[in-house]
Amino acid sequence: MDLFRGLFKGDKVIWIIFLVLCLVSIIEVFSASSTLAYKSGNHWTPITSHLKTLTMGVGAVWVIHKIPCRFFKVGIVLYPFSIILLIVVLGTSAINGASRWFDLGFMQFQPSELAKMATIITVSFILARSQEEEQSGEKAIMYIMGVTGLTILCIFTENLSTALLLAISVYLMMIVGRIPLRQMFYLSGVGIGVILIAFCSIKYVPAERWDSIGVHRMVTWQNRLNSHFDKSEIPPEKFDTKGNDAQIAHANIAIATSNIIGKGPGNSVQRDFLSQAYSDFIYAIIIEELGLVGGGIVAFLYIWLLMRIGKIARYCDKPYYTFLIMGIGFLLVTQALFNMMVAVGLMPVTGQPLPLISKGGTSMIINSIYIGIILSISKHVEDIKKQQIEEELKQQNKITPLLLESVSQAANNNATTSPL
C-alpha cells in the first residue's frame, strides 16, 4: 500500500476518475472500431493501436504528476513554438477535408492541441502576474486578448469549434481571475458581436464565395448550420441516412434504441454505420451500449472532475496554480460538453472528441498531460496541508510544556502560601 501511495501521488479522486474514463475508453473504442477493423482486415489492430496511445497517456500522467508544479511556468515557451506550427500546418495537404495534422508516420500530430495548452498556460501566467503585481485589469485583458486572439486567428479557418472552445475557456478563466466587471461587460459585448457576425457570414454568404477565397471549411460549417436549424419534417422513407446527415441520423438511432440500461458492451448496431463512432460520436455509442444510466454516469464523471478541480484550486497558495488548474478544468469539461451535445443533437457537428475516451493520438496525450498537471498541483496542495498540520502540532507541543510548567508553578505557590 505504501509503495502504491509513493508511485501515485496527488488527489486520489482525480486518479479514480481518470482510470475509470480510461476503462470506458478501452471498452467503447474496442466496440466502436468495427469499421477500422474491417478496413484493416485485423480485428485487433484498432484496439492495440489505441492501447498503445492510452499507455503513452498513462505514462505521461505519471511523469508529469511527479514534476513540481513550480516548473509549469516554463510552458509559456511553447506558445511561440505552437503558433509557428499552426502557421506551417495551414500549408500542408488536407486530411478529412481540413489542414489540421502533421503526419509523423506512427501518428498524426495536431498542433491546435498544443496551442490550446500553451495558450492556457500563458493566460494563467498573465492573470497571476496581474494579481501579484496589482496591475490594472485593462492591461491584463489586453495581453490576454492578444495571446488568445492570435491563437484563434491561426485556428478558426480550419477548426472553428476548437477556436470557440478555447475562447470560452479563456473567458471563464478571466471570470475566475476577477477581471473588473466593466471590462468583462465590454468583452462580452464584443464576443457576442463577433459570434453574430460569424454566424451571419457562415449562414448567408454564398458557398461559392467561400470557395473562391479558399476558405473551404466555411462551406462545411454552412451545411452543418443549415442542417441543424432546419426544422422541416421529413417523411421517414425520404430521410437521408447515407448522405450529409448520415452521422446525425445514426447517432439519433443509437440513442433512441438504447433504453435505460442499453444493449450491453459490444452490442452496438449503429457503430457499423457511424464513420466516426470511435471519435466524434462515441458518446452516442456509449448511450446505445450502456443506456441512459451509463451515459449519465460518464457525464457525471466530467462534472465531478470539475468539482474536484475547484476544490483543489481553493487551497492553492499561488494564483498561477489556481488559474492553471481551473483553465484546464474548463477546457476539458467544455470539450466534453461540446461532444455530448453534438451526439444528442443539441449542437451542430463540431468534430470535437470526447476527452480521455475518444480514439486519438495528440488529443489523448495532451489531455493526459492536463491530468498530470492537475495531479501535480493537487500533490502540492496536499504537501501544504501536511506542513500546516505539522506546524500546528509543533505549536501544540511548545504550548503544552509551558502550560504544565505554569500549572506546576501555580501549585507550588499555593502550597507555600497555604496557612497549613
Q: Would you state the pLDDT for residue 100?
A: 64
Higher pLDDT, 107 or 220: 220
Q: Helix 111-132 and helix 160-176: axis angle, to 10°?
A: 20
pLDDT at residue 215 tops 80: no
Phi first, then psi: give them for residue 215, nearest 5 degrees: -95, 75
Give long-range contacts, CB 8 A cutoff, 24+ apart: 289-292.
289/28, 289/31, 289/258, 289/262, 289/263, 289/264, 289/265, 290/261, 290/262, 290/265, 291/258, 291/259, 291/260, 291/261, 291/262, 291/263, 292/258, 292/259, 292/260, 292/262
| Chain mean pLDDT for the chain | 81
312 falls in which pLDDT band (50, 70, 90)? very high
What pLDDT, in 10s, does the model give residues 254-289?
888 888 888 888 888 888 777 777 888 899 899 999
- What are 191-201's pLDDT values in tens digits? 888 888 877 87
Q: From residue 154, how far is each of 87, 99, 122, 162, 216 by CA, in Å?
A: 7, 11, 16, 11, 15
Point out the least confidently predicted range of 107-111, 204-208, 395-399, 414-418. Answer: 414-418
For residues 343 and 287, is the Cβ–Cβ distance under 8 A? Answer: yes
User: Is the per-residue pLDDT at 419 higher than 90?
Assistant: no
Is there a contact between 362 and 110 (Cβ–Cβ < 8 Å)? yes
% the chain with pLDDT above 90: 28
Could you tell me if 224 and 209 are in contact, meaning their C-beta atoms sit under 8 angstroms apart? Answer: no
Instruction: Place 418 in a pLDDT band, splitting at 50, 70 and 90.
Output: very low
Q: Over the stretch 29-71, which tens digit does the pLDDT of each residue have?
A: 888 877 666 666 667 777 788 888 899 999 999 999 998 888 8
Mean of the pLDDT values across residues 66-84? 89
DSSP secondary structure code for residue 93 in this structure: P
The distance between the two most distant Cα atoms of the chain, rounded to a whole number of Å, is: 112
Q: Residue 413: which pLDDT band, with cuts at 50, 70 and 90?
A: low
Residue 420: pLDDT band with limits 50, 70, 90: very low
What is the C-alpha end-to-end distance of the chain, expressed in Å?
Answer: 62
Picking from 7-16, 385-394, 397-406, which range would have the lowest pLDDT averaged per residue?
A: 397-406
Q: Using an 8 Å Cβ cutoff, are 288 and 368 in contact?
A: no
- Is the predicted pLDDT of residue 341 greater than 60, yes or no? yes
Residue 16 has pLDDT above 90, yes or no: yes
DSSP 8-state secondary structure symbol assigned to residue 353: P
Give residue 234's pLDDT.
Answer: 59
Report d(CA 327, CA 329) in Å as an integer. 5
Which is higher by pLDDT, 320 or 8? Answer: 320
Q: Please state the rounded mean pLDDT for residues 170-187.
A: 86
**Which of helix, strand or coil describes residue 102?**
strand
| pLDDT over 60 (residue 361) | yes
Is residue 172 within 8 A of residue 330, CB to CB? The reply is: yes
Helix (H, G, I), strand (E, B) or coil at 98: strand
Query: Measured between alpha carbons, how far is 37 from 50 in angstroms, rounded to an integer?
Result: 12
pLDDT of residue 206: 77
- What pLDDT shows up at residue 409? 64
Q: Using an 8 Å Cβ cutoff, are 275 and 35 in contact?
A: yes
pLDDT for residue 235? 59
Alpha-carbon dihedral angle through residues 169, 173, 175, 180, given to the nearest 10 degrees: -120
**Cα pseudo-dihedral 334, 336, 341, 347, rounded to 10:** 60
Banded pLDDT at 394 (limits 50, 70, 90): confident
CB contact burial 155-185 (16+ within 10 A = b; e otherwise)? bbbbbbbbbbbbbbbbbbbbebbebeeebbe
Q: Cα-flanking dihedrals φ and ψ of residue 95, to 5°?
A: -125, 125
Torsion of CA 143, 149, 155, 156, to 10 degrees: 160
DSSP string, 211-231: HHTT-THHHHHHHHHHHHH--
DSSP 8-state secondary structure symbol assigned to residue 357: T
Q: How far apart are CA 36 and CA 45, in angstroms?
A: 8
More reliable by pLDDT, 327 or 246: 327
Decide if pLDDT at 247 tops 90: no
Report which secondary-structure segment, H or E, holds 103.
strand 102-103
Q: Which letter, b or e, does each residue of 245-267 get, where b requires 16 or more Cβ atoms within 10 Å of its Cβ?
A: bebbbbbbbbbeebeeebbeeee
Task: List pLDDT tens digits, range 156-167.
Answer: 877 788 888 999
pLDDT for the residue 38: 64
